[in-house]
Amino acid sequence: MNLFVENEDVIVFKSSTDDLNLEEFLSAKDISGRLFRRLYKDKKLYVNGKFQRKNIILSKDDIISLYMGDEEEDIIPEAMDLDIVYEDFSLFILNKGPNIVVHPTKSHQSNTLSNGISYYFLKNGIKKKIRFVNRLDMDTSGLLVVAKNSFAHQQMALQFENNTVEKKYLAVVKGVMEDDYGTIDLPIGREGEKSIRKAVTEDGQNALTTYKVVERFREATLVEVQIYTGRSHQIRVHLNHIGHPIIGDVLYDEPSSYIRRQALHSYYLKVLHPRTKEIMEFKAELPEDMMNLINLMK
């Protein structure tokens, strides 16, 4: 594999050829030009323990090291209960609860997930910036991936950009779906120039969603949804378009008296570990409000 995990702050590669320069070698390892330039500028790239020029020709068995180092995070720490699914030197995987803002904004300066992670990092001596790899709406619960260094972030972001991550959601939708399985391959764009709503539009970006019925109720359906593209509001728009909006989705349907947000949960992710390239699977149990909704729908 030519990649060895040394410790938290050093990523090590071993050259298997003798005809590439340093920049070409790391590019072949999917290191982005932006990350390479930053590490090179900060003199955090080493060949056999020494900083070298980027055009140095590598020899077979040369050891190339990327140094991450300590970082400072300026997000105000706040004690918060975090549902940690997995953690190692590179990754911090959380099961985000419903109705929680991820990043501090002008209207939400505190009590965000970032504030809670900042406190956890501080308490546990983790001197790293908080780098979210994927995103979830405030009212969507489920798996969030945080990278602990710029290498892990770039490697994980590449997987999401290339749509090689397997992403599955559970949703409770209005109406009883007739088909056990379905595919929605329709482009998504803005509904209007200034609208935050998305819609299926002829000139939108391609978007591919599949769904599978998990359980049918009297007036609703629990479905497993898998997305193969990462368009904003993709699941909500596609399900609404086929006449089965997510219960509680006030943006695309109407409020529900049974749940205070859209009944959508990111429950499964399959990714490659950024260092070892091993396949990793993560699951997050349904939150209480969706379990209660399902019981009411039965």
- Show the domains of the chain with their CATH numbers: 3-67 (3.10.290.10), 166-266+291-297 (3.30.2350.10)
Residue range 10-58, pLDDT digits in tens: 899 999 888 899 999 999 999 999 999 999 999 999 999 999 999 999 9
Residue 253 · residue 174 · CB < 8 Å: yes
pLDDT score for 7? 61
Q: Which residues of the chain have pLDDT under 70?
A: 1-8
Q: What is the CA radius of gyration of the chain?
A: 22
Question: Is 88 designated active site?
Answer: no
pLDDT score for 91? 96
Structure tokens at 108: 């939400």
Residue of 9, 137, 179, 185 marked catalytic = 137
pLDDT score for 109? 77
pLDDT score for 3? 45
pLDDT score for 114? 95
List, in order, residues 6 or more apart from 85 with CB less than 8 Å away.
Answer: 93, 94, 95, 143, 282, 283, 284
- pTM for the model stands at 0.89
Structure tokens at 212: 């599978």
Residue 125 three-state SS: coil
| H helices present in the chain, as ranges | 22-28, 33-41, 113-123, 150-161, 234-241, 288-297
pLDDT score for 103? 86
Residue range 104-128, pLDDT digits in tens: 887 777 889 999 999 999 999 999 9
The secondary structure element, H or E, covering residue 282 is: strand 279-283
pLDDT score for 192? 79
pLDDT score for 110? 86
Chain centroid offset of residue 154 CA: 12
